[in-house]
Chain A
Amino acid sequence: MEPAEVEFLAEKEPVTVVPNFSLDRIYLIGGDLGPFNPGLPMEVPLWLAVNLKQRQKCRIMPPEWMDVEKLEEIREQERREDTFTPMPSPYYMELTKLLLNHASDNIPKADEIRTLVKDIWDTRLSKLRLSADRFVREQEAHAKLDNLTLMEINTTAAFFTESLNHMYKLRTNLQPIEGAQSQEY
């Protein structure tokens, strides 16, 4: 999957915006939105929030976790623990990228936030590599990866699955060819 496609999925996440216009309730195929009233915060999917922001029709309110102190805590925990920290959003990377690229004026300390999120990402990916190496060395058949996000999985999936597929076949090399016996030559 392309990162842009993972982002496409992330764009369905609800985000709080403050519109500066009025509009009646709209009935999208995917659900109802609105009505939009100037100055009143409301939830819309991320794809719409970004679009409205680009047209200067709203202000975006950062999610609660997009805050320097909160992220520093998460970074600490991520660095401290061997396991993966449950992230406040399964789309933290995508939300950070989209909101910081399109609405950084609505986000306090945007640069610090960008750095913190990148640090968290790097720490998690290096943990993922550690787990992958362990998985391969122990030749496991199954792994549970509850707190990994889609973007993290997607960035490494092609490499992992290709490796594991090869490894599985190399393992089954050991199984005897059907009907044949070993012979001395």
Chain B
Amino acid sequence: MADELELFEQGSDAGSDEVLLTPAELIRQLEEAWLNEKFAPDLLESKSEIVECVIEQLSHMEENLQRAKKGDLKVSIHRMEIERIRYVLSSYLRCRLLKIEKFFPHVVEKEKLRAKEDPSDLSPEEFTFAKEYLENTEMYLKNVVLKHMPPNLQSIDLLKSVPLPNLDSFVFLRVKERQENILIEPETDEQREYTVDLEEGSQHLIRYKTIAPLVASGAVQLI
């Protein structure tokens, strides 16, 4: 059984740069994406390249295991690891789907208005899902409720009715890369704004809006 893996994987064809990552790094990045997605109030940028690479790793490993001796201890250890990685991957994708369903009109709208060069929050499959969800919901509301309303009340503006993500939510984070002069806005009239430095490895409680760009850049990790 081929236990050895190629130590370097190429990034998916989605990006023009080749990303050289060890498999261990890749899994670490998946876990970080998973945690960030869990704790961020809004839908984060799509990490399709990571997802695709992880799926590739898992298939590769599965293939190897098919060829191996049954009942070998090694096989069961590999399988346990595969199950762990699969769990993180599914949980990550499910978390995203939950947010897509929760904010569906806004998610679709944002994607429609996105400039081609800007990164997408949705994978192509997720966008299809979001659009279908929107159409289905609109049709459902129309057929069950709206068409029975008086003529001038037969429409609903989903963008107005469905709440937006609360970017003022408080989040916990751990600092990966030192950041200086993060501006903390005053909460009351008596307070003045001040800045804090985020030391590497420190943990903080703060409003998401203030540090959202740092999550996107990977400078902080939500916990």
Direct contact of A and B (CB under 8 A): yes
The answer to whether A115 has its CB under 8 Å from any CB of chain B is no
Task: Identify the stretch in B44-52, B72-80, B106-114 within 8 Å (CB) of chain A at 4 or more residues.
Answer: B72-80
Q: Closest CB of chain A to B153's CB: distance in Å?
A: 26
Interface check B149, CB cutoff 8 A: no
Q: Is B186 an interface residue (CB 8 A)?
A: yes
Please tell me if the beta carbons of A139 and B188 are within 8 angstroms of each other in the complex. Answer: yes
B120 within 8 A of A: no
Q: Interface digits, B150-178 against A, CB 8 Å rule (1 contact, 0 not)?
A: 00000000000000001011111000000
A171–B189 CA distance with the chains assembled, in angstroms: 10
Residues from chain B with Cβ under 8 Å of A144 in the complex: 196, 202-204
CB of B72, distance to nearest CB on chain A (Å): 9
> Is B188 a contact of A145 with CB atoms below 8 Å?
no
Tell whether, in the assembled complex, residue B203 and residue A160 are in contact, meaning their CB atoms are under 8 Å apart.
no
Given A23-B73, A150-B223, A157-B172, is A142 in contact with B184 using a C-beta cutoff of 8 Å?
yes
Q: Are B80 and A161 in contact (CB under 8 A)?
A: no
Is B81 engaged at the interface, CB distance under 8 Å to the other chain? Answer: yes
A26 at the interface (CB under 8 A from B): yes
The answer to whether residues A27 and B4 also contact, given A8-B87, A168-B187 and a CB cut-off of 8 A, is yes
A158-183: which residues lie under 8 A (CB-CB) from chain B? 160-161, 164-165, 168-169, 171, 174
Does B84 belong to the interface (CB within 8 Å)?
yes
Bound Cα distance from A143 to B186, whole angstroms: 14
Given A30-B81, A148-B203, A150-B223 in contact, is the A165-B187 Cβ separation under 8 Å?
Answer: no
Known: A48-B80, A153-B223. A140 touches B202 (CB 8 A): no
A64 located at the interface, meaning its Cβ lies under 8 Å from any Cβ of chain B in the complex: no
Say if the beta carbon of B207 comes within 8 Å of chain A.
yes
Q: Number of A interface residues, CB 8 Å?
A: 41
Q: Chain B contacts of A168 at CB under 8 A?
A: 168, 170, 187, 207
Q: Is the interface of B mostly helix, strand, loop or mixed?
A: mixed
Name the distance in Å between A39's Cβ and chain B's nearest Cβ.
17
Question: Does residue A65 face the partner (Cβ distance < 8 Å to B)?
Answer: no
Contact B84 A47 (CB under 8 A): yes
Task: Contact check, B85 vs A145: say whether CB atoms are below 8 A apart.
Answer: no
CB of B141 closer than 8 Å to a CB of A? no
Docked complex Cα distance between A48 and B87 (Å) = 16
**A26-B3 in contact (CB<8A):** yes
Segment 138-156 of A: residues with Cβ below 8 Å from B: 139-146, 148, 150, 153
CA distance A42 to B126 in the complex (A): 44
Docked CA distance A83–B146 (Å): 58
Q: Mark A39-60, 1 if CB is under 8 A from B, else 0.
A: 0000000011001000001000
* Contact residues, B29-61 vs A (CB, 8 A): 31, 38-39, 57-58, 61
Q: Does B18 contact A (CB under 8 A)?
A: no
Q: 22 A-B pairs, CB-CB below 8 angstroms?
A: A11-B84, A23-B74, A24-B3, A29-B24, A29-B27, A29-B61, A29-B81, A47-B84, A51-B80, A140-B187, A141-B187, A142-B184, A145-B205, A146-B201, A146-B202, A148-B203, A153-B172, A161-B171, A165-B168, A168-B187, A168-B207, A174-B189
The 8 closest A-B pairs by CB, nearest first: A164-B170, A143-B205, A27-B3, A29-B23, A141-B187, A145-B203, A161-B170, A141-B184
B residues apposed to A, CB below 8 Å: 3-5, 23-24, 26-27, 31, 38-39, 57-58, 61, 73-74, 77-78, 80-82, 84-85, 87, 91, 166, 168-172, 184-189, 191, 196, 201-207, 223
